[in-house]
Amino acid sequence: DTGVSQDPRHKITKRGQNVTFRCDPISEHNRLYWYRQTLGQGPEFLTYFQNEAQLEKSRLLSDRFSAERPKGSFSTLEIQRTEQGDSAMYLCASSQGPGVGYGYTFGSGTRLTVV
Amino acid sequence: DAKTTQPNSMESNEEEPVHLPCNHSTISGTDYIHWYRQLPSQGPEYVIHGLTSNVNNRMASLAIAEDRKSSTLILHRATLRDAAVYYCILRDGGTGTASKLTFGTGTRLQVTL
């Protein structure tokens, strides 16, 4: 297993366009998390899945954002009608279980630039 | 989630030990202390975690104060590849499901020759 994969690594889009990012977690990990990180800040939690169920969403996740994990494997994060404030690194992580002993494995992220 | 306080930045010389402090004066009895680090242009990676006792692994050591209100991540011999932002995070492990990772701004470690 090569870890958590995110695609694309970079995305430049015009304001108002829709974008979709993909995350492939480690195969035996049933928890999947999305975070957003802006320059100089730590990652901020967006949402997470237990298998295919989306269990928590942050207030940061506006109506323009939607995340899915249709078969409990890969996940997608879609941003509709992008705004310049959406420019950030979007990070995906997975973990093997809910216990405190299970660390998160992060991908390298998708850097979004909205022009 | 209980809050942690870390210095914004620290510097170290290569091959010297580095002690990265973290204060968590409002820690609760079921909070575990986790450390992650983020290398440039990468996602965060797990370093170490502990509850009460000091912990060692191949990457680092974690020294936890007796009253648990502070902890120190110890890199025994810093290398240039250890230059990163280090995050100290508390996770409530009181139930079977731990709280999610909540990141602060961390400590940016610079390592020089």
Q: Which residue has the tokens 């002993």?
A: A101
Instruction: Give the pLDDT of residue A20.
Output: 98
Q: Rounded to a whole number, what is the distance in Å from the CA of B54 to chain A's nearest CA?
A: 15
At residue B51, what is the residue type? L
Instruction: Give the pLDDT of residue A79.
Output: 98
Instruction: Give the pLDDT of residue A1.
Output: 54
How does pLDDT run across B18-39, given as a tens digit for each residue? Answer: 999 999 999 999 999 999 999 9
Contacts of B43 in chain A (CB under 8 A): 4, 91, 93, 106-109
Question: Is B98 in contact with A98 (Cβ distance < 8 A)?
Answer: yes
- Collapsing DSSP to helix, strand or coil, B82 comes out as helix
Is B91 touching A (CB cutoff 8 A)? yes
| Regions of chain A with pLDDT less than 70 | 1
Instruction: Give the pLDDT of residue B93.
Output: 84
Instruction: Give the pLDDT of residue A101.
Output: 84
Instruction: Give the pLDDT of residue B2.
Output: 64
Is B96 touching A (CB cutoff 8 A)? yes
How does pLDDT run across B66-97, given as a tens digit for each residue? Answer: 999 999 999 999 999 999 999 999 998 877 77
User: A108: which residues sit within 8 A by CB, 6+ positions away?
Assistant: A6, A9, B41, B42, B43
In angstroms, the Cα distances linking A37 to A42, A43, B51, B57 are: 6, 4, 28, 28
